[in-house]
């Protein structure tokens, strides 16, 4: 809705400039045209937000805004990772799901300690514009020359944050300590011990059932009610069509099963070809194997 309000203010300002500026045409042409375009655009945008995809997008934007506004009550007990630890994890992360989660957990613990805010300036018409952004996590990685793809790190961090949200972890308890084969580096406070035991058990079960990064990401997103924004419309269309992928020319067609006469004719032709003398030893062995299969699993040939 902020986008719609901003577009309305910009169009109103544009109309005032046209009305007060030099006459480039009839006095009513530009204001009426701009108002018509604004009305049509507003109606189309409102109708799109009323669809399932539009509601899903608005819900996801609100969820992300809440996560951005939420600041941890206390720093993580694990502490900020070093660039060397991130480099070591990044070198082996693509081969192990646990290492990916550990890397994402360390980045999730590091980000709240960095300055990621923005500074705005107020214009004469009362609107605000972004003047500068703090370097945040990307600047921290760049300053320390961490040679890992930033987009990959963001994906790992996003999954770690969603897992924390699904497990309802305390801000002080890092996800890294819950991974299999990992123990806390320091004694846990008394109020975190029961949560640690239950979350450790739940995370181990999730990793056993969804041992793949993609499957785990989809499961966590479904549990949190996060819609796949890019595939929401495609999923709804496929569900309406019966779940099958539609071809460009029409509905999906299933090829007919071959008739018994066609199967017997194919077997006879194959036998005729295999009974011919083989020129090479590998081809002869392959011929003997095919004949043996036809006599046993394939059934007798006529």
- For 9-55, how does the pLDDT look when each residue is reduced to its tens digit (9 = 90+)? 665 665 555 555 544 444 445 555 556 666 666 766 677 677 777 77
Query: Which two tokens mark 277?
Result: 């003398």
Return the closest-CA partner of residue 119 out of 105, 130, 106, 110: 130
Cα-only R_g, the chain: 31
């600047």: which residue's tokens? 139
Return the closest-CA partner of residue 269 out of 290, 285, 246, 250: 290
Measured CA to CA in angstroms, residue 188 lies from 88, 98, 177, 196, 202 at distances of 26, 22, 11, 9, 18
Return the closest-CA partner of residue 161 out of 175, 172, 147: 175
Using a cut of 0.75, tell me whether the model's pTM lies above it.
no
Mean pLDDT of the chain: 75
CB 31 within 8 A of CB 19: yes
How far is Cα 167 from Cα 163, in angstroms, rounded to an integer? 6
Across 241-264, average pLDDT: 64
Model confidence at 202: pLDDT above 90: yes
Q: Report how many helices (DSSP H) and strands (DSSP E) the chain contains, helices first.
A: 12, 2
Where do the structural domains in the chain lie, given as residue ranges? 2-50, 77-227, 267-302
Contacts of 121-125 spanning 24+ positions with Cβ under 8 A:
125/9, 125/13
Measured CA to CA in angstroms, residue 162 lies from 97, 166, 200, 228 at distances of 15, 6, 15, 14
User: Residue 201: pLDDT band by 50, 70, 90 thresholds?
Assistant: very high
How far is Cα 25 from Cα 180, in angstroms, rounded to an integer? 73
């Amino acid at each position: 809705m902020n986008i719609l309000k901003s577009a309305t203010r910009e169009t109103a300002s544009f109309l005032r400039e046209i009305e007060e500026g030099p006459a480039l045409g009839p006095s009513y042409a530009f204001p009426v045209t701009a108002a018509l375009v604004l009305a049509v655009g507003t109606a189309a945008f409102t109708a799109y937000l009323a669809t399932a995809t539009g509601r899903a997008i608005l819900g996801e934007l609100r969820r992300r805004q809440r996560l951005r506004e939420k600041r941890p009550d206390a720093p993580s007990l694990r502490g900020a990772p070093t660039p060397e630890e991130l480099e070591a994890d990044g070198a082996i992360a693509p081969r192990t799901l646990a290492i990916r989660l550990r890397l994402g957990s360390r980045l999730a613990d590091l980000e709240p300690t960095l300055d990621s805010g923005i500074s705005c300036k107020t214009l004469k018409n009362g609107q605000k514009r972004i003047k500068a952004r703090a370097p945040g996590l990307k600047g921290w990685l760049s300053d320390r020359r961490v040679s890992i793809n930033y987009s990959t790190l963001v994906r790992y961090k996003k999954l770690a944050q969603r897992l924390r949200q699904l497990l309802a972890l305390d801000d002080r308890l890092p996800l890294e300590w819950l991974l299999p084969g990992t123990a806390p580096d320091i004694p846990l406070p008394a109020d975190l011990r029961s949560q640690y035991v239950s979350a450790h058990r739940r995370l181990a079960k999730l990793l056993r059932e969804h041992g793949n990064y993609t499957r785990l990401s989809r499961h966590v997103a479904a549990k949190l009610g996060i819609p796949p924004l890019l595939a929401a419309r495609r999923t709804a269309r496929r569900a309406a069509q019966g779940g099958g992928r539609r071809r460009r020319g029409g509905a999906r067609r299933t090829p007919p099963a071959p008739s018994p006469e066609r199967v017997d004719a194919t077997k006879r032709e194959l036998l005729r070809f295999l009974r011919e003398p083989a020129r090479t030893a590998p081809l002869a062995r392959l011929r003997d194997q095919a004949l043996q299969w036809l006599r046993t699993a394939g059934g007798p040939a006529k």
